[in-house]
Structures are given as C-alpha cells and as structure tokens.
Amino acid sequence: MATGATIFKAELQIADLDRNYYQDHALTLARHPSETDERMMVRLLAFALHAHEELSFGNGLSTCEEPDLWQRDLTGAVQFWIDVGLPDERLVRKACGRADQTFIYTYGGRVAEMWWNQCCRKLEQIKNLAVINLPPEASRAIAKQARRNMHLNCTIQDGQIWVADENESVFMELVTLKSMPLV
C-alpha cells in the first residue's frame, strides 16, 4: 500500500449480465494522497467491469511500472492492464507491449476529450488497446458514493451500468473511444 494512503473498504456486489458474472468482493483500496474520490471510484468501477478472481489493484499512482488494475495468469504474464485517467502515450504503448489486452478508462469531460484528440493518431493502430470514457456527470456522481466503508451494488447489462449504494443509484453508459478487434 502507498505510504500515507487512506484505506477504503468496499463490499462490492457485481451482477454482470453481459458476462454472466455474479460475485461479491470484499475489497481494500488504498487512496494515494494525491488521488481524488472521483479517480478512486473510477478504479473501483473498472474493477467491477473486469471482475475476476485473479484481478488485483496495482500500486497505481505510486509507480508508473504498474497499472491501476491488472490480471496475471499462473505464469505471471499480464493478461489485462487497466489504467484510469489520462496516461502518457509512451506509457500506454509500453503497457500494450507487456499485456495481452490494455484498457484505459478516461474521465474528466473536456480534459479527457483533449487528451484523446492529442493521442488518438498515435494509439489508434494498437490492436490490443481499448479506450473508454466516462461521462463527467457519471464519474462525479459515483465520486459522491465514496465512503471509508462502502456497500455497493453494480449491475451491468447491455453495456449499461448501475452503481448503487444505500442512498442513491447512478446510471451510466460508457463511451468507447477505441475498441479492440474481436478475436
């Protein structure tokens, strides 16, 4: 865990009808001192979208050598590399070279659009990369659900996502900026 990190606990119930994945996860998230609630909750959402028993949180902001989330196989090879935010284009290329599949989840509205406009030509030819954007109202809404101890339900169906806590349900549809070809 990062030095000086704030620890958050999340009981996350996932019902992913698109992948037939139904599981409860007890997660511990270390929020780096420079990380916002919004970014941390986007990391948690990315976990829900790719949930698997081998998926784990990396050191994220503490080191650029690790992603926010990753999944390794039994040999240690990286199957999924998942980053949140607006990573440097060179780091994205490096991640794509290390992993079978790389996912970038952007958020932040206009800033994310500007990042994508700057990077898209350099990244569009990479076959094992997907870039997905969260609408700003969705990322801000899930940021309000951040608590030191959270109980969240995440339902995914037909590409639509609902994240609910005891007070509120947030609906969102992600925007795919770049997709991977189907294998």
Q: How confident is the model at residue 65 (pLDDT cuts 50, 70, 90)?
A: confident
| Residue 28, both tokens | 């511990």
How would you label 2-23 residue by residue, b for 16+ Cβ within 10 Å and e otherwise?
beebeebebebebebeeeeeee
Q: Which residues contact 25 (CB under 8 A, 6 or more apart)?
A: 10, 11, 12, 13, 14, 47, 51
Q: Kindly report the average pLDDT of the chain as a whole number.
A: 93
Q: Which residues contact 2 (CB under 8 A, 6 or more apart)?
A: 30, 32, 33, 59, 60, 61, 62
- Mean pLDDT along residues 30-38: 92
pLDDT at 182 over 80: no
pLDDT at 60 over 90: no
pLDDT at 1 over 70: no
Q: How far apart are the first and last CA of the chain?
A: 36
Residue corresponding to tokens 């037909």: 158
pLDDT at position 15, please? 98
Q: How confident is the model at residue 83 (pLDDT cuts 50, 70, 90)?
A: very high
- Mean pLDDT along residues 167-176: 96
CA distance 162 to 151: 14
Q: How confident is the model at residue 5 (pLDDT cuts 50, 70, 90)?
A: confident
pLDDT at position 63, please? 64
List the domains of the chain with CATH numbers: 6-178 (3.10.640.10)
pLDDT at 14 over 70: yes
pLDDT at position 64, please? 66
pLDDT at 168 over 50: yes
Please give the model's pTM, rounded to 2 decimal places. 0.94
* Closest among 12, 15, 88 to 43, alpha carbons compared: 12
H or E stretch including 175?
Answer: strand 175-178
Name the β-bridge partners of 95.
none
pLDDT at 93 over 90: yes
